Homo-oligomer: A and B are copies of this chain.
Amino acid sequence: MSSDSIPENQNLILLGCGSVSVDLLATVAAYPEPDEKIRSTSFKVEGGGNAANALTCAARLGLKPRLISKVADDTHGRAIIDELQADGVDTSFLVVSKEGASPFTYIIVDSQTKSRTCINTPGFPELLPAELPEPTLLSALSGARIVFLDGRLHETALVVAHEAVRKNIPILMDAERLREGLDDLIQLVDYLICATNFPQVWTGATTIPKALVSMILRLPKVKFVIVTLGKDGCIMLERSADEGPSAEEVDVDRLLESLEMKRNRSTHIPTCISSPVMKLQAEGTGTVCGRLYVGTAENIPQSELIDTTGAGDAFAGAVLYAICANFSREKMLHFAATVAAAKCRALGARSGLPHHKDPRLGSFMQ
């Protein structure tokens, strides 16, 4: 594996801790009613799991990811390992259990409505922190530029995160929903990506912009919080350390509205609009000094839109790359939207993930 875009001497190592799985994708002519007996029209097996997907994306883009997770020594487990290795993800930190079963997800793909119904069968036994002895953890973190967490395996993830903090290795977390242990983990992260509903669910704020302000106020270390909105792109709030005496104070909801107005709706490619550094006020919550960004998603023609499963993981993988490559925030959001859109043009969480030489990434990879 080589990278044309990050200089060789720059640190490419990324450590991820989270879920890994196998997806069994069964395409059907129509979603079955209960008690129906139908046939799939096509079938495909592909790796899955948020952390494993994001790391696969990062590996294809040119990073050198290592994954901490657990599988069983069964067919699914062996397939998971083979596929990760083929993509350049270091699996030497995966715990392989002699007993139990590897996790898998059966995905019913409706070829008409394009719905994706997922039934996950968890793996067992679960990963325990004791299965990751300190020397192994230190070895896994050695030389790492960044740590990625998907909120799963929270006990082990917390051990990894504390050690990363001690070593000044920044942490990016992708927060999909409220999970056990998430409140402890989230305090330690430097960069946060959230699913659409997460900021309001976690903070109780009435709008997404207010929730983002609340998160910046509540999370001492966090540099930015991104909320992904599917086809509506994303919103990012970045904390500014230095507010400057002249920073204007604005209502964060109004600011979002004004940025939305500036969106270029005539282009199909992702764009990014940002505010200057301002004092962003969220009524009833407080004020933070920062910049608000609005990123648009690529407008994918319906005929090319195959599958959005894993698009969030692709977005996270691209953000990991962008941080390592020191992309500007605008370029990062534009890049992540481009990578996520490439993924959506193929069936499965990983099939569409672009390689770093993909011509669609040309302008980013110079």
Contacts and interface: CB of A to CB of B under 8 A. Distances in A.
Interface of A: 24, 26, 28, 31-40, 43, 75, 101, 106, 108, 110, 113, 115-122
B117 A39 contact: no
B119 A39 contact: yes
A100 to B, nearest CB: 12
Contact of A43 (B37, B116, B118, B121): B121
A28 B106 contact: no
Contact of A39 (B35, B43, B108, B121): B121
A43 B116 CA distance: 20
B32 A106 contact: no
Q: How many copies does the complex hold?
A: 2
A36 B121 contact: no
Nearest to A43: B121
Majority secondary structure, A binding face: strand
Given A106-B24, A106-B106, A117 B36 contact: yes
A40 to B, nearest CB: 5
Nearest to A30: B34
A103 B24 CA distance: 13
Which of A40, A113, A115: most chain B Cβ within 10 A?
Answer: A40
24 contacts: A24-B106, A26-B106, A26-B121, A32-B117, A32-B119, A33-B117, A34-B110, A34-B113, A35-B115, A35-B116, A35-B117, A36-B117, A37-B117, A37-B118, A37-B120, A38-B120, A39-B120, A39-B121, A40-B121, A43-B101, A43-B121, A75-B75, A106-B106, A108-B119
Contacts of A32: 117, 119
Interface centre among A33, A34, A43, A113 (most CB of B within 10 A): A34
Contacts of A33: 117
Nearest to A36: B117
Contacts of A35: 115-117
Contacts of A122: 39-40
The listed residue with most B CB atoms (<10 A of its CB), out of A33, A117, A122, is: A117
A120 B40 contact: yes
A355 B62 CA distance: 58
A28 to B, nearest CB: 6
A38 B119 contact: yes
A31 B34 contact: yes
